[in-house]
Amino acid sequence: ETGVTQSPTHLIKTRGQQVTLRCSSQSGHNTVSWYQQALGQGPQFIFQYYREEENGRGNFPPRFSGLQFPNYSSELNVNALELDDSALYLCASSLVTGGSYNEQFFGPGTRLTVL
Amino acid sequence: AQSVTQPDIHITVSEGASLELRCNYSYGATPYLFWYVQSPGQGLQLLLKYFSGDTLVQGIKGFEAEFKRSQSSFNLRKPSVHWSDAAEYFCAVFGGATNKLIFGTGTLLAVQP
């Protein structure tokens, strides 16, 4: 069983640029959540995708957007990068079957540095 | 508002000593609570979780946690720490209808030989 994978591992961008981060969910999972973890902080929820539609969003501006594909992999896009966007971006997948909670399995993350 | 507080930013213990990491939560209903561990450059690994029932839950790597509703706490414990336990530990609560995990700021554990 393949776990959650993310690419790239590290990325350096400059202010104002756009970035796309990718996540492959664990086999059999249908839901992907994205989190931002700034240095010295806990992960903060960005949004979640279920069956290719956004299914919950945290307190992040619209320049953070996402996609989920038919194979349940996902992308996180950030436009007009700011210095404060420098962080570890974590993807988590889960299998939502209608229960109240479904365990989220985390990938290793993508470290984004904005200069 | 739902929140998680981890009062200790950094803790150092000697190898073989006992460990307790504190976590307090704020949540209106019965919480679903979690402890995760993060090693440098790694993602988050689930140590244990509490949904209901027995308030003392056992996890992986010899960790346990106790849910105390009266104190809104979910402290993580280990009787004897190993050098490999050095990592950052995060407490989290499930945000219900918002479908998200709400994390504390983490406690960085250092283990002295």
- Residue A1: the pLDDT is 58
- Residue B75: the pLDDT is 98
* Closest approach of A16 to chain B, Cα-based (Å): 26
- Asked whether the beta carbons of residue B100 and residue A58 sit closer than 8 angstroms, the reply is yes
Quick: pLDDT tens for A60-110: 999 999 999 998 899 999 999 999 999 999 999 998 877 667 788 999 999
Show the tokens assigned to B93.
């609560």
- Residue A102: the pLDDT is 78
* Closest approach of B51 to chain A, Cα-based (Å): 9
Chain A's closest residue to B93, CA to CA, is A101
* Closest approach of A70 to chain B, Cα-based (Å): 21
Q: Which amino acid is at B24?
A: N
Quick: pLDDT tens for A13-46: 999 999 999 999 998 888 999 999 999 899 999 9
pLDDT band at B8 (very low <50, low <70, confident <90, very high): very high
| Neighbour-count burial of A50, counting CB atoms closer than 10 A to its CB (0-12 exposed, 13-18 middle, 19+ buried) | middle
- Residue B98: the pLDDT is 65
Chain B interface disruption, residue of A96, A97, A106, most B CBs within 10 A: A106
